[in-house]
A and B are shown apart, each in its own frame.
Chain A
Amino acid sequence: KQEVTQIPAALSVPEGENLVLNCSFTDSAIYNLQWFRQDPGKGLTSLLLIQSSQREQTSGRLNASLDKSSGRSTLYIAASQPGDSATYLCAVPNRGGSQGNLIFGKGTKLSVKP
């Protein structure tokens, strides 16, 4: 059974720092991995989707990497800003490959202090 773990559960950094969020999964036979952002009480915003054949994806100050063999993904945020404060979640599809059945980590709650 696929399990997704995110460490740390919470992170507080001063503005301007570069930071890394971690995501690990137990079954390396994933179709892809998706990173989301969630603001309090709101829905999920898709940040990056990495296909299993890719190693990295970049969007602005965000860079996500994927290492299937080790069951890990990282989300790198450069030059963090207070507006980056949110909960970040990673998710992988269920083994059947159906994108409709995403398995989520519990998330990392990020706080960027001005």
Chain B
Amino acid sequence: KAGVTQTPRYLIKTRGQQVTLSCSPISGHRSVSWYQQTPGQGLQFLFEYFSETQRNKGNFPGRFSGRQFSNSRSEMNVSTLELGDSALYLCASETLPGQGNEQYFGPGTRLTVT
């Protein structure tokens, strides 16, 4: 069974640009969550999607948005990039939300903003 996949693995963008990251969950998993990891703040929850609906959202500005498609694949978008958005972006999937199941993480997308 293939694991969680994320594309691209690495990105370099300039301040003010926008970026879209993609996450494909494990087959059969319908819940996808996104996290940002930085050396200073550690891992922080961005948002969670289930059945194409956002269930939860972390404390991030509106420049961060996401969506989920009918095949459970998810994308997140960051508009008007800032230097502080440089981070490792991780997505995780689980079968169903709120069931106490394990979350499985992808390898991450390393975003560098210059």
Task: Judge: A and B partners, yes or no.
Answer: yes
Q: Which residues of B contact A (CB under 8 A)?
A: 4, 6, 31, 33, 35, 42-43, 45, 48, 50, 55-56, 58, 88, 90, 92, 94, 97-108, 110
A104 and B33 form a contact (CB under 8 A): no
Question: Across the interface, which residues of B come within 8 angstroms of A34, CB to CB?
Answer: 102-103
Q: Which residues of A contact B (CB under 8 A)?
A: 31-32, 34, 36, 41-46, 49, 51, 89, 91, 94, 96-107
A99 and B97 form a contact (CB under 8 A): yes
Closest A-B pairs by Cβ, 8 of them: A100-B48, A44-B105, A104-B43, A100-B33, A43-B107, A43-B105, A106-B42, A49-B102
Cβ contact of A51, chosen from B43, B58, B100, cutoff 8 A: B100
Q: Whole-angstrom distance from the CB of B90 to the nearest CB of chain A?
A: 6
Question: Across the interface, which residues of A come within 8 angstroms of B106, CB to CB?
Answer: 43
Cβ contact of A96, chosen from B6, B43, B56, cutoff 8 A: B56
B94 and A100 form a contact (CB under 8 A): yes
Cβ contact of B98, chosen from A36, A49, A97, A102, cutoff 8 A: A97
Q: Which residue of chain B has the shortest Cβ distance to A48 in the bound complex?
A: B102
Q: Whole-angstrom distance from the CB of B104 to the nearest CB of chain A?
A: 6
B102 and A45 form a contact (CB under 8 A): no
B90 and A44 form a contact (CB under 8 A): yes
B42 and A107 form a contact (CB under 8 A): yes
State in angstroms the CA–CA spacing of A49 and B100 once bound together: 9
A98 and B48 form a contact (CB under 8 A): yes
Q: Whole-angstrom distance from the CB of B98 to the nearest CB of chain A?
A: 5
State in angstroms the CA–CA spacing of A70 and B97 once bound together: 27
Cβ contact of B55, chosen from A43, A49, A98, A104, cutoff 8 A: A98
